[in-house]
Every structure is written in C-alpha cells, then in structure tokens.
Amino acid sequence: MALPKAKLDATEARLASMTRPEGGAWATAAREAALGRVRDMGLPARRDEYWKFTNPESLVQAEAPLAALFEADEAPIFDEIDRLRIVFVDGVFDADASDDLTGENLSIERLVDAAASDIHWAKDLYGVLETAGQTPVQRPLAALNTAYATDGLVIHATGPVSKPVSLIYQHRSESSDAILHHVVKVEAGASLTLLENGPAAARFNKVMEVDVADTGTFHHVRAQGRDHERRAATHIFARLGTESVFKSFTLTANGVMTRNECVIELTGDDAVAHVAGACLGDGDFHHDDTVFITHDAERCESRQVFKKVLRNGATGVFQGKILVKPGAQKTDGYQISQSLLLDDDSQFLAKPELEIYADDVACSHGSTSGAIDEEALFYLRSRGLPEGIATDLLTLAFLAEAVLEIEDEALQDAIVSRIEGWLARRRG
C-alpha cells in the first residue's frame, strides 16, 4: 500500500539527512533490509493509532531539536555499585573513559567491529528480533535504528556474569542526535545484569535486542538522564526461552519527550518477564511507556507495573498489551498502570489491552489516576510530619510497587535515593 504523501515526504526528508554506516556483508544486508522496512512503513506520524497520545514529530524530524546541557548536582547513579563501566558520549563509545571490555563468562564488542567481520553470531539477532517485533504493530523508529545505528555493543553472556555491565550515556553537545543499537545474548544457564544511565544526547534513538536462552536470566535497570530538554525513543525487543527470566526497570525523571517501547515474546514454557517503570514529571514533560508482551508458550508469567508521578502540566502515557496466543495455557499475566496527579493540570492517558486466545489463563489489568490520599496525609501530619515530607513519603509509597520489581537491593536503593532527591528538590 502506498504511503500517504505527507508521511512519505517526512520519511524521505529524514532519510536524506542520514548516512548508513559501512560494514561487512551480513551487516549491510541487515541494514538494507531495515531501510526497506522503514520505507514500507513510513516513519510515525501524529495520526497513527499507535501514536495517538504522543506526538512523534520531534522524534522523526530531520534535525534533532537542541537540548541544553544539564549540570546535575548529585553524584552519578550506580557510583556505589561495583560494575563494568562503559561510556558513550553523545552516542559515541569512549574507550578512554571505559573499563576494559572483558569479564568472566562475558564477551563484549563494539557493534562497528562485529559488523565489520564476515561471520558473527550477532547476525542471527541484529534486526531479527526487531523485525519480529514489527508484527502485529509497526515500530518504524526501531527499523530506522537498525538501518542507521552508528554505534552500540554486542554482549554475550556464556555463564553467570558477576559484575553488572553498566552503560553510561553522557550528553555533551546541545545538538547531538545519537542512534545506538545493542545486541545481548544470554546463553542457557547464564545470567547478566545490565545497567543504563544518562541522557545520551539531545535526541536519542536506542534499540536493544535481547535473546535469553533456556534457563538464562537477564536483569535490566535503567535511569534515564535528568536533562529537561532531552528526547528519547527507545525499544527493547526480547525473546525468552524455556524457564528464562527477564526483568527490566526504568526510572525516568524529567525529559521533554520520552517514548519507551518494550516488546517481549515468551517463546519457551515457564518463562518469566517483568517490565516496570517509575516516572517523575514536572512541567514540560511527556513520557510514554508502550509495552507489548506476547505469550506463546505454557505456564509463563508476565508483569507490567508502571507508576507515574505528574505535576505542573506533565503528561504520562501508558499503552500496554498482553497477547495470549492459542495454546499458551496457564498463562499468568498481570498489568497495572497508575498515575499520581499532584495537581489539576497534569494528565495521564492509558490504554490497557488484553487479547486472549487460550481458555485456561489468569490475566488481570488495572489502571487508575488519583491525587494524594487526603486521609493518609492528615494521619501522617497529625503525627508531626510536615506536609511536604508526608507528601513525599506517600509519593514514594505510590511508586513502591514498581521499584520493588528490582530484585537487587543495592540497585533498588540507588533508584530510591534518586526519587527522594527529585522529590526533595521540589519540596521548597
């Protein structure tokens, strides 16, 4: 089907401004195929159903809107954690600032190096999970990423990896427009924790494809940078084997525009997928969590837990779907999306969806929007807590269900202290 002219023009305008990176045969083929997908789908436009609540214009337009640099007044997150540090500055790997890319049961290469080789295991994943994730809903920004990503990592965990791999995304140029693509492969019996933090660029397009083999475990904790003017469109595509575990948590504090998509396919029996997010928005803030979890095996468990704290006209969006395919019996699916609106100006738009084709499943979903509980606030104040502190305590309590999805307590603490800092700065 031919694309509408406006969409075609917008797509070609963006493509004209970009250069596809060089690479070996497999990488070139994958990138060309991805470019073909972009041209077939066209880049997202405001009238697309999947972008009904989020205007994709600034994520699509040829030039990235400028984003002022932000001087954080707190120590970088995860500083206390013993981890393998890998630094990207405005989307470019910084070897000098990074640790050696080595570790027990671990191999890490830059995408540019993997792409230059004639034969590489990443060939079976790069753009492959993204392609699978284009059905039934199109995600053109992810295909654009596969075609044009200039940097990224291919990470291979062959056994238990003791230290978390920590990707640090620094933003140093007001006009940077970064496209990163990571591929992660967790082998049978292997386990890996991946941390991500930082704003990355003025505009950031990131795709991460994660393949967790049978009995593999993958934990992901992310804190998106506090820069107010940054923009991001991120995608996680995950494929889970039998008895594998995938858990991802994201904290988003500030950011004028964020769209985080997470597409998970449970392909092996007894697999577990948890995706959670806490976001804090004040003023010019638009945050969109779009999640699509497909159950295609028996006795799998999935959880989506998203909590948003919004004030001064901030907007939160949640589009979450659980698709249970025929035969995916004994599926246990749970989805909750909630917002705490701290004033009358903020808004939360939610579209929870269940689509179930198996008859022996337990799926539940809920979505709420509310203010601070006045009864609870009075109770706390009557015990001597000043209103601001009482409100913060109740806000933290509201976010707790999402934060508790992080298994590791040290990582949980790191996230909580970020949230506390954000709240304290606004207490006045």
Partner 1 sequence: MLEIKNLNVKLEEEDKQILKGVDLTVEAGKVHAIMGPNGSGKSTLSYVLSGRDGYEVTDGSALLDGDDLLEMEPEERAAAGLFLAFQYPIEIPGVGNMTFLRTAVNAQRKARGEEEMSSTEFLKLIREKAKELKIDTEMLKRPVNVGFSGGEKKRNEILQMAMLAPKMCILDETDSGLDVDAMKLVADGVNALRDAGRGFLVITHYQRLLDHIKPDVVHIMADGRIVKTGGPELALEVETQGYGDLAGEVA
Residues in a beta bridge with 278:
251, 307
Give the integer Cα–Cα distance in Å for 274 and 301.
8
Least separation in angstroms between CB 374 and partner 1:
7
Beta-strand relationship, 92-94 and 84-89: antiparallel
- Whether the Cβ atoms of residue 261 and residue 139 lie closer than 8 Å to each other: yes
Q: In this structure, which amino acid lies at residue 271?
A: A
Position of tokens 């995408």?
Answer: 111
For partner 1, the closer CB: 315 or 338: 338
For partner 1, the closer CB: 251 or 324: 251
Least separation in angstroms between CB 282 and partner 1:
21
For partner 1, the closer CB: 362 or 397: 397
Q: In this structure, which amino acid lies at residue 357?
A: Y
For partner 1, the closer CB: 357 or 378: 378
Least separation in angstroms between CB 398 and partner 1:
7
Give the integer Cα–Cα distance in Å for 64 and 389.
39
Least separation in angstroms between CB 402 and partner 1:
11
Beta-strand relationship, 362-370 and 165-170: unpaired
Q: Encode 369-411 in three state secondary structure.
A: EECCCHHHHHHHHHCCCCHHHHHHHHHHHHHHHHHCCCCCHHH
Least separation in angstroms between CB 393 and partner 1:
6
Least separation in angstroms between CB 236 and partner 1:
27
Structure tokens at 170: 């620094």
For partner 1, the closer CB: 272 or 406: 406
For partner 1, the closer CB: 135 or 382: 382
Question: By the criterion CB under 8 A, which residues form the site for partner 1?
Answer: 374-376, 378-387, 389-390, 393-394, 396-401
DSSP for 120-152, written as a single string: -GGGGTTTHHHHHTTSSS--HHHHHHHHH--B-
